[in-house]
């Protein structure tokens, strides 16, 4: 008969019991250790990983109460929570054994035990041990994944007054469990603010689940958010938890919440009010414990007045509102953001460090950035890849001339020659999206001459 690959430890102060158990169990399990003195338990399980421990409930110091056994049970589980412990008692005290199960033991045996039952109990416990180890492994991986994810998204760059106000609100609200509504244009970093709230909260070691509601069709809304049972619809091949269940104990971030239809708003409101979800294909309610953070670039209050967004849902999701400013409202943060993205993409693409000259930096600060930080990020990434120089020029960023400069009519009546030249150069450079060659050609200058004027005027 093949032995099972398992390590078993038996702890009992009766030498005869230990000898009999060891001789018998060695026929069934690869490694069987015995220990007479419970004081040696901590050293034993710190130096060796046992799959199953058989622990006597009563030792000579305290023969009948089981208190000593409970103390050592708790000590074992404190050192290694994945350990499977089977309690042994010679007094047939079922109540004592049941209490032991409540305190973390897996099973119990009564002395004198039946050998077949002993092997069966240990074998069954080995399956539980495997499950506990796998679960602990998953938890460890999840913690590592969460930590890595948080590190990737931890940086909110910028020290402008506008962003200081945002971060002050984040610090105040994060320590509570209040629902938060983040408002702002596309590309302003609303998800980063949501993650900052999560990472500063008591839930920081749990998951952060982001859901782009704008990307979920109406037909998939319930299955994605609330889950489903196998067979609930054609493609439901297995039971699956929804995003709310996945976020249990952590934070769920509902982005683009303004895109929801009124019927879906009603379903979402019901879940938020009851804190329970029902998977498609079942009638069973599953309780959820989540921190809710929502975001949108849409005017929800105006939408309420137009009957496009439920007022009761708006009240439910915006205990605290945070307005994330656009990049044009915080131009003083452009240099720090620029440096941040340059470092990221030079490292990502294994390119020597790049920087911008003063005139390019001034031009980037003046740009309107309609796509906000996301546009700046993409512009930097493209410049890092495409430019062969370590000093990036305005033309490397391919800035689109989107600013409305039509009102800036050159009037020589109020300008001297230098001011007129500066205005003209800026307009022509913008017209050609920062392409110096084309701008120089239109102005009738060489590239070198145009660069000198750009440096001179700080364009």
| Cα 112 to Cα 3, 91, 308, 324, distances in angstroms | 24, 10, 73, 71
- What's the pLDDT at 67? 74
- What's the pLDDT at 406? 40
| Cα 384 to Cα 339, 349, 351, 359, 370, distances in angstroms | 12, 8, 8, 18, 21
- What's the pLDDT at 410? 45
Nearest-10 crossing angle of helices 436-443, 417-431: 130
5 strand-pairing partners: none
The model's pLDDT over 15-66, given as tens digits with 9 standing for 90+, comes to 888 999 999 999 999 999 999 998 999 999 888 889 999 998 877 655 455 6
Domain 4-135 has CATH 3.30.9.10: no
The model's pLDDT over 196-255, given as tens digits with 9 standing for 90+, comes to 999 999 999 899 999 999 899 999 999 999 999 988 888 888 888 999 999 999 999 999
How far apart are the C-alpha atoms of 440 and 425, rounded to whole Å? 9
DSSP string, 256-276: TGGG--HHHHHHHHHHHHHTE
Query: Is residue 132 within 8 Å of 82, Cβ to Cβ?
Result: yes
How far apart are the C-alpha atoms of 183 and 105, rounded to whole Å? 51
Establish whether domains 4-135 and 153-325 are of one fold: yes
Domain 153-325 has CATH 3.40.50.300: yes
Domain ranges of the chain: 4-135, 153-325, 327-396, 401-459
How far apart are the C-alpha atoms of 139 and 142, rounded to whole Å? 5
- What's the pLDDT at 65? 59
- What's the pLDDT at 68? 78
Fold observed for domain 401-459: Arc Repressor Mutant, subunit A (1.10.10)
SS3 183: strand
How many beta carbons lie within 10 A of that of residue 84, not counting itself? 27
Return the CATH class of domain 327-396: mainly alpha
- What's the pLDDT at 147? 58
Q: Which alpha helices (H) appear in 293-357, and where do they start and end?
A: 300-305, 311-317, 334-348
Q: Which of the residues in the chain have pLDDT under 50?
A: 63, 152-153, 402-413
- What's the pLDDT at 408? 44
pTM, rounded to two decimals? 0.62
- What's the pLDDT at 62? 52
227 strand-pairing partners: 241
- What's the pLDDT at 415? 53
Contacts of 92 (CB under 8 A, 6+ apart): 110
């Amino acid at each position: 008969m093949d032995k099972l690959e398992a390590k078993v430890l038996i702890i009992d102060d009766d030498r005869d019991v230990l000898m009999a158990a060891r001789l018998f169990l060695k026929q069934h399990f690869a490694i069987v250790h015995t220990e007479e003195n419970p004081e040696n338990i901590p050293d034993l399980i710190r130096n060796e990983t046992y799959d199953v421990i058989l622990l006597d409930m009563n030792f000579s110091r305290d023969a009948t109460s089981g208190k000593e056994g409970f103390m050592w049970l708790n000590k074992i589980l404190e050192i290694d929570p994945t350990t499977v412990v089977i309690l042994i008692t010679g007094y047939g005290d079922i109540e004592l054994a049941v209490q032991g199960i409540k305190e973390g033991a897996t099973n119990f045996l009564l002395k004198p035990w039946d050998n077949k039952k002993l092997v069966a109990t240990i074998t069954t416990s080995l399956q539980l041990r495997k499950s506990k180890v796998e679960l602990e492994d998953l938890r460890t991986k999840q913690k590592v994944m969460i930590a890595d994810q948080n590190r990737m998204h931890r940086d909110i760059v910028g020290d402008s007054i506008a962003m200081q106000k945002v971060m002050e609100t984040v610090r105040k609200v994060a320590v509570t469990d209040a629902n938060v509504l983040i408002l702002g244009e596309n590309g302003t970093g609303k998800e980063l603010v949501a993650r900052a709230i999560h990472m500063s909260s008591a839930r920081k070691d749990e998951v952060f689940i982001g859901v782009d509601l704008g990307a979920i069709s109406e037909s998939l809304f319930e299955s994605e958010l609330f889950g489903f049972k196998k067979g609930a619809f054609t493609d439901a091949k297995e039971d699956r938890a929804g995003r709310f269940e996945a976020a249990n104990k952590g934070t769920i971030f509902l982005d683009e919440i303004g895109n929801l239809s009124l019927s879906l708003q009603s379903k979402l409101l019901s879940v938020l009010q009851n804190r329970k979800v029902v998977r498609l294909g079942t009638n069973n309610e599953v309780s959820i414990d989540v921190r809710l953070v929502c975001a949108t670039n849409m005017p929800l209050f105006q939408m309420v007045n137009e009957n496009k967004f439920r007022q009761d849902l708006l009240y439910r999701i915006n205990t605290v509102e945070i307005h994330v400013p656009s990049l044009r409202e915080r131009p003083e943060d452009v240099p720090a953001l620029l440096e941040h993205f340059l470092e990221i993409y030079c490292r990502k693409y294994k390119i020597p460090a790049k920087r911008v000259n003063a005139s390019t930096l001034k031009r980037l600060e003046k740009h309107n950035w309609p796509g906000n930080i996301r546009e700046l990020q993409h512009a930097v990434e493209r410049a890092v890849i495409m430019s062969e120089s370590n000093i990036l020029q305005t033309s490397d960023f391919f800035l689109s001339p989107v600013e409305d400069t039509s009102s800036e009519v050159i009037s020589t009546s109020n300008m001297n020659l230098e001011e007129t030249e500066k205005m003209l150069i800026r307009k022509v450079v913008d017209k050609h999206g920062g392409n110096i060659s084309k701008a120089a050609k239109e102005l009738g200058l060489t590239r070198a001459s145009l660069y000198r004027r750009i440096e001179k005027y700080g364009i």
